[in-house]
Amino acid sequence: MLDAVIWISLTALAIALPLYGPRWQLRRVLARPLPAEAEAVLRRNIPPYGRMAPALQAQLRQLVVQFLHQKKFIGCEGLVVDDEMAVTIAGQACLLLLNRPSKVYPSLHTIMVYPSAFVAQRHSVGPGGVVTPDRQSMLGESWDDGRVVLSWDDVKNGARDWTDGHNIVLHEFAHQLDSESGRANGAPYLGSVSNYRQWSEVLERDYQHLRFSAMYRQHSVMDHYGATNPAEFFAVATETFFEKPWQMAEHHGELFGEFLKYYRVDPRDWQAAPLPPPPPEPEAAPRLYSFAAGW
Ligand SMILES: [Zn+2]
């Protein structure tokens, strides 16, 4: 009888451990605060962090703890990924997850970090289906098999200038969010059908505007790379939303509104409004000519 009880208990444990083990472990990890040195990295390398309300800072720290616990970092080409690199990447990636229930990029397991821009092997298909091997220099990549690849030099640069609209971590992790809803197509998970309808109407219109600006090399708040396809448009618009929120709100009001609803934060709270352009120089007073008569 005792043997049977022990046998049943052991079987129950064998079933429960793989099911609940990771959850118990996560709960234990989340109960521990982010170490002070890691918080100092957030302050140093993620300018919005210092301007957030304490409750939002606490949320971000918790997301970072979960991210660091669940994801594996691999250094490439001899790079050793230290705590500063991991926390900087995790902190920027988790900015996209604030104020909503999130499983923290559930299908992502590995972040590969190169020291600088890396070369990726590609194949381009030419006329007649001829496949040609192609080598491309990349700053980052997002794969739907659970990997993100980043150039550390470019992560650092993105952290240093938070107002230029370029941030490789925000870009690649926006792709991850996009692919959570199936194929990356510029529409992340939005809930109701009416949300998708509104999203696609607004994004399609601004995407076509950006394509036009790119074609005619006109100035745009968003980088012209966003005109490549709808998935790149969403990733570039995400960079713009977090780094140039004032300009995006002014020039792409409806798009900004959709991103406010989706990301549930207003990055204008973390950034001073850009200074208005200087007033035009006053016109020079008409020059008075005097004629010296009598020569
Ligand atoms: Zn991209």
221 in Cβ contact with 165 (< 8 Å)? yes
pLDDT tens across 245-254, in order?
Answer: 999 999 999 9
Confidence check: pLDDT of 292 > 60? no
Residues of the domain holding 126: 30-173
Q: Based on the domain organization, do 144 and 202 belong to the same domain?
A: no
Q: What is the whole-number distance in angstroms between the Cα of residue 171 and the centre of ligand 1?
A: 6
Task: Give the count of domains, the chain.
Answer: 2
Q: What is the whole-number distance in angstroms between the Cα of residue 129 and the centre of ligand 1?
A: 25
Structure tokens at 233: 């448009």
Taking ligand 1, which is a single-atom ion, which protein residues have CB atoms under 5 Å away?
A: 232, 235
Confidence check: pLDDT of 224 > 90? yes
pLDDT, mean of residues 50-56: 96
Q: What is the whole-number distance in angstroms between the Cα of residue 14 and the centre of ligand 1?
A: 42
Q: What is the whole-number distance in angstroms between the Cα of residue 201 and the centre of ligand 1?
A: 21
Q: What is the whole-number distance in angstroms between the Cα of residue 209 and the centre of ligand 1?
A: 19
Domain with residue 156: its CATH number is 1.10.472.150
- This model's pTM is above 0.95: no
Residue 148, in any domain of the structure: yes
Confidence check: pLDDT of 293 > 60? no
The confidence score (pLDDT) of residue 133 equals 72
Q: What is the whole-number distance in angstroms between the Cα of residue 243 and the centre of ligand 1?
A: 16
Domain with residue 253: its CATH number is 3.40.390.10
The confidence score (pLDDT) of residue 295 equals 39
Residue 133, in any domain of the structure: yes
Q: Based on the domain organization, do 207 and 268 belong to the same domain?
A: yes
pLDDT tens across 142-190, in order?
Answer: 998 999 999 999 999 998 899 999 999 999 999 999 999 888 899 999 9
Count CA atoms within 13 Å of residue 86 on its CB side.
Answer: 20
The proportion of the chain whose per-residue pLDDT surpasses 70, expressed as a percent, equals 88
Q: What is the whole-number distance in angstroms between the Cα of residue 152 and the centre of ligand 1?
A: 16
Confidence check: pLDDT of 121 > 90? no
Which amino acid would we find at residue 159?
Answer: A
Q: Based on the domain organization, do 161 and 42 belong to the same domain?
A: yes
**In degrees to the nearest 10, what's the CA dihedral of 217, 222, 227, 232?**
150
Q: What is the whole-number distance in angstroms between the Cα of residue 11 and the centre of ligand 1?
A: 47
Residue 24, in any domain of the structure: no
